[in-house]
Structure 1
Amino acid sequence: MDRVLSRRNSFSDQSHKVFTRGTFDYLENERGQNLFCKYWHLDDPTIEPKALVFISHGFSEHLGLYEHVGRTLAQNNILAFGHDHVGHGRSEGIRAYVESVDEYVNDLMDHCKIAKREYGNVPLFLLGHSMGGMVVLRAGLLYPGFFRGIVFQGPLIIPGPQLGPIDFRLSWWKTIPVGVVLRLMDWVDPEMILGGVAMNLITRDEDMKKMLKDDGLRWEGGCKVRLLRAFVNCLYDNLAQLRNLTTPFLTLHGDHDSLCNVLGSRLMIQESRSGDKSIIEFPGAVHNLYIEIREVREIALKRTCEWILQRSLK
């Protein structure tokens, strides 16, 4: 296929699912919703990238918050791409709401299959933060062998400290009372919003806190009941299948992350059957390492690029 594609902002696709509206590119998903896409191509369009990386952002986020991540990957000859998950950022859909996490996964796979058709010989990786980490773990479990590797960054494998009276970490029997409470709330109002997130739980960097606060595309509320039910269902299904994870992976986690428990990353290392797996813990760091204090985010990005480039050669 003609490599002049790299001069454009998007991947081409014979199904016409990817299209341009104004100055923006969109992917139409299987449910007819238009998802806002971002691409960080290499500066030199004649050079084939060493790797492709789909970036899966976290809850309440959008890909505009990953500009520095995408640019850093592109500077290392890695073509990064992705879309705002449905209901997030500039994508269509009810804000912060899905019936099942598999909706996110299906959209991810559609986009990645287009990338594979465009760059068939270039290894494809996943990078997921927080909720996005839960999504890419599910993609790795459902599609073994499709991806060369996965980078998890503060992934949602098990929740961090209990949510009020609700604590559904690790113990499978806790799904029963949790499920009953959530079903009752869902019956009352599936879009009922629970709690919120303080900026100091996301990053210790004051400039980054201001950036998040001033960002008009972020969802600023808490988690809706129906979305939380979808999360719980996915989390327990993922946990039950951890031994089936064979894709190489790196997980990066702050050991003071109170939103996504670092025990989840340790559990993946312990339980998965991948022959190539590693964990890097950052002492004192909180949730989003890519926007943490400068020394943390620089190391996190450096380790991400190194890991991907090393495995792109295999």
Structure 2
Amino acid sequence: MGNKKAIEGVSDEMNAIALQNLDHAPARRRVRSAFVQVQEQLDHVLFKMAPEGIRTEEWFETNSKGQEIFCKSWLPKHGVRIKAAVCFVHGYGDTCTFFFEGIAKRIAASGYGVYAIDHPGFGLSEGLHGYVSNFNDIVDNVIEQYTKIKGRPEVRGLPRFLLGQSMGGALALKVLLKEQREWDGVVLVAPMCKISDEMKPPEPLQKILIFLSRLVPKAKLVPTKDLAELAFRDPQKRKLADYNAISYSDQTRLKTAVELLNATNELESQVEKVSSPLLILHGAEDKVTDPKNSKFLYEKAASNDKTLKLYDGSYHCILEGESDERIIEVLDDIIAWLDSHCSVRYIDVCSSC
């Protein structure tokens, strides 16, 4: 099963479920159903300190390509007015469930409608697991799904923000470049504006991979490092990452690797067109997405309203893999920035739901 490994602390039966072939969505959905209660009991600040009373909804939307896309929302408890919609764009080795459940609940408890989708081929959405045939297709799917979500009655007419993490940061930026007037700002967490040199294959190997991607695009042949080891500074939290049993953890598919490289190369030449309010957050010791590239984005973006915050000593997963205190600090920084960028247009959840 490639890079998949047994999960510490769960039964042989649960591991057998987790280690099945996850190429297709029905298998991933079965695994998620088996693990959802176990995940909620994990010893992680995002689960232990999750606010009570958050209203959640899960559903599927069929996109323009006929794929079922998993969607989820987290709304404040009844009686709390919604300030804005926050639309999450997840990263490559991630999903819009698991750790993000705790992140979303904390943001929702501060008065936001939080929405998330799994990209085609990731999480609970249809598509070959971990396969990106065209990066711009994922960008278009993000736009398509969030156009529907922005029209939902509880957030219609309210400010709307993108929250992109890692590869999701690159997707969020490309969405923004296509429809800047549709968004009131974007929060980028360790954005993949450019793949770090440590994560890139050597130049000669890149050329070979590009050639092979035309012959066997779906093949899992791109060498990858242990992302959890590089991304999670706290060793105990690193172990818990395995419980996201439906995240893609195998070797990168050839076409996927080429598309990620191409997308970051394109972004590098377009960042000066970004004019929306911008919050960029990055671990100063990130070895997955280089914080120097966030500095480059901050300096080159045309926005007059932009903030860059680097967290000393932190790795890639600043919302999941750091100390409890650092995770809460980053969440508070996001919420404070959102609060400062919301208009006074409020909507009472009670009167609109």
* Residues 198 and 287, structure 2, Cα contact 8 Å, conserved in 1: no
Find the aligned partners of 2:146 and 2:302 in 1 and give their Cα distance. Answer: 24
Give 1:231 deviation, angstroms.
1.1
- Return the letter of the residue paired with 1:196: T
How has the CA–CA distance of structure 1 residues 8 and 129 changed in structure 2, closer, same or farther, with 3 Å as cutoff? closer
Specify the alignment match of 1:152 in structure 2: 188
Distance 1:218 1:28 in 2: 21
The 5 Å alignment of 1:62-211 reads 62-64=95-97, 65-118=99-152, 119-163=155-199, 165-166=201-202, 180-193=207-220, 194-198=222-226, 199-211=228-240
Deviations 1:10-57 (A, max 9, x none): 5xxxxxxxxxxxxx411211111111111111111x544101111111
Q: Residues of 1 paired with 2:102 and 2:263: CA distance? A: 30
Amino acid at match of 1:127: L
Deviation at 1:73, TM superposition (A): 0.6
CA distance in 2, matches of 1:83, 1:299: 25
Structure 2 distance, partners of 1:78, 1:207, is 30
Cα distance in 2, alignment partners of residues 139 and 163 from structure 1: 24
Report the AA paired with residue 117 of structure 1.
Answer: G
- 1:250-306 Cα offsets, whole Å, 9 max, x none, are 000011111101111101111110010010001111111101221221111000011
1:231 aligns to what? 260
Structure 2 residue matching 1:53: 3-state secondary structure: strand
Note if contact 2:122-2:130 (Cα within 8 Å) is conserved in structure 1: yes
Change in CA separation of 1:48 and 1:197 when aligned onto 2, cut-off 3 Å: farther
Tell whether the 8 Å contact from 2:187 to 2:334 is kept in structure 1 after alignment: yes
Q: 1:50 aligns with which of 61, 74, 83?
A: 83
For the residues of structure 2 that align with 1:195 and 1:52, how far apart are their CA atoms? Answer: 38
**Correspondence 1:194-273 to 2 at 5 A:** 194-198=222-226, 199-273=228-302
Return the letter of the residue paired with 1:264: N
Say how many residue pairs are matched. 285
- TM-score w.r.t. length of structure 2: 0.76
**Offset, 1:204:** 1.4
Counterpart Cα distance in 2 of 1:225 and 1:35: 23
User: Post-superposition shift, 1:68?
Assistant: 1.0
Query: Does structure 1 conserve the Cα–Cα contact (< 8 Å) formed by 2:318 and 2:330?
Result: yes
By how many angstroms is 1:188 displaced?
Answer: 4.0
What corresponds to 2:338 in structure 1? 308
Residues 164-222 of structure 1 show CA distances to partners (whole Å, capped at 9, x for unaligned) of: 6526xxxxxxxxx6763332221342123222342221111233212211321111113
What is the RMSD of the two structures over their aligned residues, measured on CA atoms? 1.9
4+ residue stretches of structure 1 with deviation over 4 A?
7-10
What amino acid sits opposite 2:342 in the alignment? S
Asked if 2 retains the 8 angstrom alpha-carbon contact of 1:195 and 1:221, the reply is no
Paired position in structure 2 for 1:298? 328
Do the aligned partners of 2:169 and 2:190 also contact (CA within 8 Å) in 1? Answer: yes
Contact between 1:148 and 1:248, CA under 8 Å: does it hold in 2? yes
Q: Percent identity?
A: 23
